Structure 1
Amino acid sequence: MSHQVVGLGQCALDLLGTLSRYPGVDEKAELHEVLIQGGGPVATALVALCRLGVETAFWGRVGDDDFGEKIRSGLEGEGVDCSGLLSDSGRTSQVAFIAVEGGSAHRNIFWHRGSARPLEPDEVDPGILGAAQVLHLDGLQRGASLAAARIARSRGLITVLDGGTFREGTEELLPLIDHPVVSERFARSLCPDDPLRAVDLLLYRGGLAATVTLGALGSHTGSREGERFHQPAFLVDAVDTTGCGDVFHGGYIFGLLQGWPLKRVVRFAAACAALKARKLGGRTAIPTLAEAEAFLAERVDA
């Protein structure tokens, strides 16, 4: 197989709507725009990579319901190979409703896990990795994530983790991760008083480079070689921040594939995330490579 990046993790169907303000209890609010679109950390990162011209494949499981079919068709429509996306008979897929406040781009997320089972370690097919260069994980399917990471490590693949929440199994997974790129919430689970100290802890636990993302405050990155830097977030007219972190990971992995210096990798990832925020939905405004390059060319000092 010719996939450059294989991802294993969560996928969902997002139902998004914009409103002027969040209503109080027992109040109504009109939605000004409604969108149904696939979501999930690893799944959306793979879509971002496809937009950038990278061949990708996804490992995961959905139910055999309508939501599952929409999740699959959304990924396949972007060019993601879904031969590793299994369907669980008689079970339901994960779904989320996301209410986005106009003006602020703040959002509230209501989600249902669904009843589709997580992948089991013996369902991780080493053949899907083929000639891949990168394995991308979110750690949400503990056993399968560990199995895939061990296979990747034995084959010399680069491993990347989207760490949204520090959960059961994360401690065991971290030594197998080359590039943990984690949220502030994840970082505060390690260092409650100073999330930036998590960069050093993640490097100590096996990372070659580690990044803590802080939303509008940008990100902080460190490497095992001693490099440390802050990447500011790019200012855009943000409509919806859904999926910004996922797209950041896609841009980060793209930079790794190019062999860029770490600062360039993170700057490119930040640009991809900023451009995504221009429209409703986690995938609507994911940039192409030409769009990302043009955006950065206009911001040579940022």
Structure 2
Amino acid sequence: MALSVVAIGESLVHYFGVIPSYPGLDRTVQMHQFSMQCGGAAATSAATLANLGVAVAYVGKVSDDHFGEVISGSLADIGVNLRGLVHRPGRIGAFTFIAIEEAQGRRTAFQSDGDLPPLNVEEVDLTLLDGARYLLLDGTEPAAQIAAAQFAKGSNCGVVLRLSGRRPGTTELIALCDYLVVSEHFVSELVPTGELERGLRSLKDHGCRAVVITLGEEGCIGLGPDDQLVRVPGHEVDVVDTTGASEIFVGTLVHGLLEGWPFSLTLRIANRAAAHACTALGALAALPRSEEIRAYRKESES
């Protein structure tokens, strides 16, 4: 069976620890809650789609240690196709430890990038894109992702690009994408703070069909294929942890594209799913389910 979506990019392991307050130097604090999960932009969006019943593959690199086992095991359990997963023997994978203060919800993250070399163009199985409707990229593997996007453009496969910041290859990837999702921080590097509509139009001028800026607790704003400006306010929830919310937003957005929903409806539902993602410890603990998406749609259309 042909895949509907192929996601290429980052995966890592998140360790979460909930503490009453951050300790001073030379102090020890007892964690109230602990969780270990697969994370990373492309991997989390792929998990979101798989949890919604979409045939999706994840292409990326993992180490052959415990970190790689956590990533591959977690994604496989959710139903992500891992035929394109590249294993790096003798390497150390990336991981992050995130300490979350229970009362204020503030986060302190400690990250190790590991020593995995970049994904080579030759390591990407482009046959995965045969019959796929969308290629999902996160900008973390520019050489491999540019090659995949070029292949997709010649195969009638739409390209969705999610960017949180500028990296080598960013400009080339934007020129190849159909749907672009960026953070407010990314836009602040292009236009003065607050000029979001100007930022949307500037990015859309690169040839994208639609552009979306995520605004955290303030929701999102997007410029659709027909140049319709859509503003979606934030949805108030009791926040536990915000890790992975934007990745769940992107995964849900791609689900909406597959379903053929109107642009404005897609943003409202994706925004709702992202808000819900903040109510649990780690993104994989709050992946949207099909029945929740149906409820969000009913809520959005009422």
TM bucket by the smaller chain?
Answer: over 0.9
Find the residue that maps to 2:231 and give its secondary structure.
strand
Aligned to 1:18: 18
1:65 matched residue in structure 2: 65
Partners of 1:96 and 1:81 lie apart in 2 by 24
Aligned mates of 2:95, 2:291 — CA distance in 1: 32
**1:18–1:64 Cα change, 3 Å:** same
Residues in 2 aligned to 1:242 and 1:139: alpha-carbon distance in whole angstroms: 18
Deviation at 1:23, TM superposition (A): 2.8
Q: Is the 8 A contact 2:139 2:161 kept in 1?
A: yes
Percent identical residues: 37
Where 1:230 maps in the other structure, the secondary structure is: strand
Indicate the residue corresponding to 1:248 in structure 2.
Answer: 249
Local SS of the residue matching 2:274: helix
Alignment match, 1:132: 132
Residue 272 of structure 1 corresponds to which residue in structure 2?
273
1:155 alignment partner in structure 2: 155
Structure 1 equivalent of residue 97 of structure 2: 97
Secondary structure at the counterpart of residue 42 of structure 1: helix
The runs of 5 or more residues in structure 2 that have no matched partner are: none
AA matched with 1:21: S
The runs of 4+ residues in structure 1 deviating greater than 4 Å are 298-301
- Code of the residue aligned with 1:34 in structure 2: it is F
Q: Quote the residue 1:212 is aligned against.
A: 213
- Give, in angstroms, the shift of residue 192 of structure 1: 4.2
Sort the Cα spacing of 1:195 and 1:111 in 2 relative to 1 into closer, same or farther, 3 A.
farther
Whole-Å separation in 1 of the counterparts to 2:74 and 2:85: 12
User: Deviation string for 1:29-81 (max 9, x for gaps)?
Assistant: 32110000100011001111111110100111011111111111111010001
Q: What root-mean-square deviation, in Å, do the aligned CA atoms of Structure 1 and Structure 2 show?
A: 1.5
> 1:52 and 2:52 equivalent?
yes
Alpha-carbon distance, 1:143 to partner: 0.3
- CA–CA distance in structure 1, aligned partners of residues 244 and 47 of structure 2: 11
CA distance in 1, matches of 2:30, 2:184: 32
Could you report, residue by residue, the CA deviation over 1:216-265 in whole angstroms, capped at 9, with x for unpaired residues?
Answer: 01111012522102111211222111110000001100000011110011
SS at 2:61's partner residue?
strand
State whether structure 2 residue 97 is matched by structure 1 residue 74. Answer: no
Question: Partner residue of 1:36?
Answer: 36
Comparing 85-94 and 194-203, the one that deviates more: 194-203
> TM-score scaled to structure 1, two decimals?
0.95
The 2-side partners of 1:263 and 1:40 are apart by: 27
Answer yes or no: is the 8 Å Cα contact 1:244–1:276 preserved in 2.
Answer: yes
Distance 2:195 2:253 in 1: 20
192-201 or 77-86: bigger deviation? 192-201
Partner of 1:291: 292
Could you list the per-position Cα deviations for residues 61-105 of structure 1 after superposition, in whole angstroms to 9, with x for gaps in the alignment? 011111111111111010001111111111111111111222443
Return the alpha-carbon distance in structure 1 between the equivalents of residues 167 and 211 of structure 2.
18
Deviations 1:150-209 (A, max 9, x none): 011111111111111111110111110111111111111222434513211110112111
Aligned residue type for 1:139? G
State the secondary structure of the residue aligned to 1:155: coil
Pairwise CA distance, 1:292: 2.5
Instruction: Answer yes or no: is the 8 Å Cα contact 2:218–2:233 preserved in 1.
Output: yes
Name the SS of the counterpart of 1:290 in structure 2: helix
User: For structure 1, which runs of at least 5 residues remain unmatched after alignment?
Assistant: none
Indicate the larger mover: 220-229 or 80-89: 220-229
User: Contact between 1:271 and 1:296, CA under 8 Å: does it hold in 2?
Assistant: no
Secondary structure, in 3 states, of the residue corresponding to 1:160? strand
Does the 8 Å contact 1:203/1:224 carry over to 2?
no
Note if 1:146 corresponds to 2:142: no
Question: Quick check: 220-229 or 102-111, which moved more?
Answer: 102-111
**1:299 CA displacement:** 5.8
Distance 1:83 1:259, change over 3 A: same
| Closer/same/farther in 2, CA of residues 239 and 133 from structure 1, 3 Å limit | same
- Greater mean alpha carbon deviation, residues 132-141 or residues 121-130: 121-130
**Aligned match of 2:258:** 257
Name which of structure 1's ranges 211-220 and 124-133 shifts more when overlaid on structure 2. Answer: 124-133
User: Aligned pairs, how many?
Assistant: 301
- The answer to whether the 8 A contact 1:203-1:223 is kept is no
- How big is the shift at 1:106? 3.0
Counterpart of 1:214, as a letter, is: L
| Cα pair 2:152 2:159 within 8 Å, conserved | yes
8 A contact 1:240–1:280 mirrored in 2: yes
Q: TM-score, normalised by structure 2?
A: 0.95
Q: CA deviation at 1:298?
A: 4.5
